[in-house]
Structure 1
Amino acid sequence: MINVLIIDDREEKVKLIKKILVDGCNLPLENIESADSIASGRRKLTEKVYDLLLLDLVLPLFSNEDPDPKGGLNFISELKGSAAMKTPIQIIGLTENINAYETKKGEFERLLFSVILCKQGSSDWIQQVKEKVDYAIRIKEAILKTINDNNKFDIGLICALQEEYNQMLDAFGGDTKWRNFEIEDYPYRFKTIEITTASNNVVRVIAATAGRPGVVPTAVLATTMYNLFKVQSVFMTGFSAGFPSKDLALGDVMVAKSIEDYANGKLIDDPANTVELLKEIHQVEASTELVTKIQEYASKPETRATLNAKVERANLKVNSRDNYAIQVSATCCGPFVVTSNDFVNQIKRDNRKLEGLDMEGYGLYLTSHLLTKRVKKDALWLKGIGDFANPQKSDGYHDTCSFTSATLLHMFIKEYM
């Protein structure tokens, strides 16, 4: 709905105009404000954005002063050249003075605004006001639709760390393929790209990095993606830890079909005078549709072959004989960088099906779950296994894991979205 400012020093005329706007145009009274002088109108236009300005042509500079026959026109000229005042989409002059109407009409129209002669006893001017208001409403709706369309994306991509993000940008074609997308008052530096899929659909993608590890930064960024850009799906790539097994090697890509918060519960003193965590298991499932699709895609031999070929071309294979696999598994998440075999074994005792852990995934999955009401929100976590959460933990696979997980996602989007 539009916001209207009326500048007129005649109280009865202001009341009449408000009645027309409320009763005839269905505008809420709280969306209509008034000023009785050029000075008070100038102050309001400095403080707030109005969509429509209705003003008398004959206006006083200050309240309770004699009106200036050129007050309205002079104020419009001032408004047009002012950086401090916010010019409304539409400006309409209203006057009962036929001489002012005849002499100022041409100058108003030269400034691309219109003047309405308010003849007493005639309803023609009321109908003209209604038409102008209706036009202002339609113009604002069109502007908002354009803004919303420009800000609407199909997919959100997020990474916790800048090093993960850089590899993701490379996996999707390199930084030159992306376009910067600035949103005022948000702390993120968004980038966008369009991907043409195998079915010839164009998928609009918006990406950003949280810039730090942890559940909270990821949840905040994911919420921004869902609410600001109206994406249906948010994907997360990067590197994580895996639990040692014969089926899992460093560099493999893990897709989380569920993520559990391993650090949720109650801390108590146990008989040995140590602190014990009484766990409350909270687990969030990924989108069944996305998991089913990526399981199908990962099971194709050509998927793994293509993935490894792309990693090799990027010169990111840590060992020349590495042959990175794709695994869909249950994972867990918590606030710690883990380098302890005992801690990993304790987590595995609580849930033997867990295969990996990180510090962010639970925030992503919980956010998608909580924000799913009328419109379904999907999320999928894909990360490469950079270490086994033991004392031998190192950074040697970080770039490889970040690139490999993002490359798999890029391939998946092109094939299935």
Structure 2
Amino acid sequence: MKVLIVDDVQTKIREILKVLSAAGIHEEWVDTAGSVVGAAKLLKENDYGLLVIDLVLPLRLSEEPDKSGGTRLLNEIVRNSSLKRPEHIVGLTVSDEALQEAQPEFSRGLWSIVRYGTDVSEWREALVEKARYLLARESFEQEEVARDTDVLFVCALARPELSQLKVALGNNFEEVSVNGDHTRYFRTSISTQPKDISVTVCSAPSMGLTAAASLTTKACMHFKPKIVVMTGICAGKKGEVALGQCIVASTSWDYGSGKFIGSAEGVQFKANPYQLAIEPAAQSAAEAVLSDQSFLDSLHDSFQGNKPKQRLEGILAPLASGAAVQANSEFFESVAQKQVRKVAGIDMEAFAVSWSAREANEPKPICIIAKSVADFADEEKSDDFQDYCSFTSGSIGFEIAKRLI
């Protein structure tokens, strides 16, 4: 933030600098001018957040001060479009006569005018208030700009999803603090062609639709991502997909959406799901990545840990979400018969993330759901491949996102 002091008295300039310095304004941010002409030259060249102006100013340094000099400069700022108008203007004067004459002009511009004096505190308070306000706002704006991210990753849990995502992305992350938000966010920049991609990653405190929706909503507000990606693990439909296979959701929905109906046969659940489809651009990118077998093979080979014997494959298919962990071999058949016949996987978060991204502020991010099959939602559930699935889904999700940046 830059400040311009316009005054022809050096002792007064030094006093003003002391006050601004105490408020947090560094001296190198401050320019000074001793005349109307000198100030106008600086106002053509620079943007100032604050202008501190004496009312009694010479037109040029070689001339005598004029009690209307300050007002003349203000009129020039308003009239001359080549001068960059400061956001805040504070007038200071030791002359009561000049103060009274300039008051109407300052009032029209909604500017401040106070009497200056070494024994007067009002002018000091006025400068401190303006300086602190401008510094606080600039800090907020810089934080907002710094937060903007290309790709936001949302994970269900810190382990294994988020920890393996970080391994997959292969970069050093720094933690980002957001005032008033206890969630831990991590940020990095990944070098790609033709540009570097800024990435922010986070995880919810627990699994489930509610936690995922809450996290995605506030993270989108904080970081304004272009793309939202959820990666991690899911359950797959046995016979439709294999362990370790990555499902990119072509559609997602809440399989618990509907109503219970009483009848002579007892209470029955009638499903009424609302489905969200992947955006066409994301679908094209996903199809390209999932068909690149050499890329998928490289992911499988690079993972250092327990992994399936079969090679990594990917599929673009329906993925349903619900509030409960499933360990029932008949569950998939129920969803396939009553909701979507070709459902390939189920999880506890995908639909919530997709919905939150769709409802985000403009410009809305593109949403990608990429989850790898860690079990078949049956009585034989196992944690053997959760790390592998979190790693591969994270790598595939980012590869899809890269094609959309």
Taking structure 2 as the reference length, the TM-score comes to 0.68
- Check the 8 A contact 1:179/1:193 in 2, yes or no: yes
Aligned to 2:249: 256
Identity, in percent, stands at 21
SS where residue 283 of structure 2 aligns?
helix
RMSD of Structure 2 on Structure 1 (CA): 3.6
Q: Indicate whether 1:406 and 2:394 are aligned.
A: yes
SS where residue 341 of structure 2 aligns?
coil
Cα deviation, 1:153-185, whole Å, max 9, x if unaligned, reads: 1111110111111111111115xx001101121
Match of 1:238 among 232, 235, 249: 232
- 1:163-312, aligned counterparts within 5 Å? 163=159, 164-173=161-170, 177-197=172-192, 199-245=193-239, 247-273=240-266, 275-311=267-303
Cα deviation, 1:15-53, whole Å, max 9, x if unaligned, reads: xxxxxxxxxxxxxxxxxxxxxxxxxxxxxxxxxxxxxxx
How many angstroms does 1:152 deviate by?
Answer: 1.1
Amino acid at match of 1:346: S
- Check the 8 A contact 1:256/1:286 in 2, yes or no: yes
Amino acid at match of 1:249: A
- Check the 8 A contact 1:258/1:330 in 2, yes or no: yes
SS where residue 205 of structure 1 aligns?
strand
> Which whole-Å CA distance do the structure 2 matches of 1:121 and 1:392 have between them?
87
- Single out whichever of 293-302 and 380-389 deviates more from structure 2: 293-302
Aligned to 2:93: 116
Measured at CA, do residues 149 and 80 of structure 1 come closer, stay the same or move farther in structure 2, by a change above 3 Å? Answer: closer
Q: Indicate whether 1:148 and 2:136 are aligned.
A: no
- Check the 8 A contact 1:225/1:234 in 2, yes or no: no
> Which whole-Å CA distance do the structure 2 matches of 1:116 and 1:259 have between them?
68
SS where residue 182 of structure 1 aligns?
strand
- For these two proteins, the number of residue pairs brought into alignment is 312
Aligned to 1:161: 157
> Which whole-Å CA distance do the structure 2 matches of 1:305 and 1:288 have between them?
26
> Which whole-Å CA distance do the structure 2 matches of 1:121 and 1:132 have between them?
14
Aligned to 1:3: none
Cα deviation, 1:71-100, whole Å, max 9, x if unaligned, reads: xx9xx79x869xxxxxxx97979999xxxx
Aligned to 1:366: 355
- Check the 8 A contact 1:239/1:402 in 2, yes or no: yes
SS where residue 322 of structure 1 aligns?
coil
> Which whole-Å CA distance do the structure 1 matches of 2:291 and 2:139 have between them?
46
SS where residue 142 of structure 2 aligns?
helix
How many angstroms does 1:114 deviate by?
Answer: 8.1
> Which whole-Å CA distance do the structure 1 matches of 2:376 and 2:271 have between them?
23
Measured at CA, do residues 270 and 187 of structure 1 come closer, stay the same or move farther in structure 2, by a change above 3 Å? Answer: farther
SS where residue 213 of structure 2 aligns?
helix
- Check the 8 A contact 2:175/2:185 in 1, yes or no: yes
> Which whole-Å CA distance do the structure 2 matches of 1:278 and 1:284 have between them?
19
SS where residue 241 of structure 1 aligns?
strand
Measured at CA, do residues 126 and 165 of structure 1 come closer, stay the same or move farther in structure 2, by a change above 3 Å? Answer: same
Amino acid at match of 1:161: L
How many angstroms does 1:376 deviate by?
Answer: 3.0
Structure 2: segments with no counterpart, 5+ residues: 1-15, 25-48, 57-89, 113-129
- Check the 8 A contact 2:185/2:200 in 1, yes or no: yes
Cα deviation, 1:247-280, whole Å, max 9, x if unaligned, reads: 521011111011021101111233233x311111
Aligned to 1:16: none
Aligned to 2:368: 380
SS where residue 300 of structure 2 aligns?
helix
Q: Indicate whether 1:322 and 2:310 are aligned.
A: yes
> Which whole-Å CA distance do the structure 2 matches of 1:95 and 1:414 have between them?
57
Match of 2:344 among 344, 351, 355: 355
Structure 1: segments with no counterpart, 5+ residues: 1-72, 82-88, 97-112
Measured at CA, do residues 80 and 366 of structure 1 come closer, stay the same or move farther in structure 2, by a change above 3 Å? Answer: closer
How many angstroms does 1:228 deviate by?
Answer: 1.6
Cα deviation, 1:354-393, whole Å, max 9, x if unaligned, reads: 1100010110111122236x52321111111000111111
- Check the 8 A contact 1:383/1:405 in 2, yes or no: yes
SS where residue 388 of structure 2 aligns?
helix
How many angstroms does 1:122 deviate by?
Answer: 2.4
- Check the 8 A contact 1:223/1:367 in 2, yes or no: yes
Measured at CA, do residues 237 and 354 of structure 1 come closer, stay the same or move farther in structure 2, by a change above 3 Å? Answer: same
Amino acid at match of 1:148: E
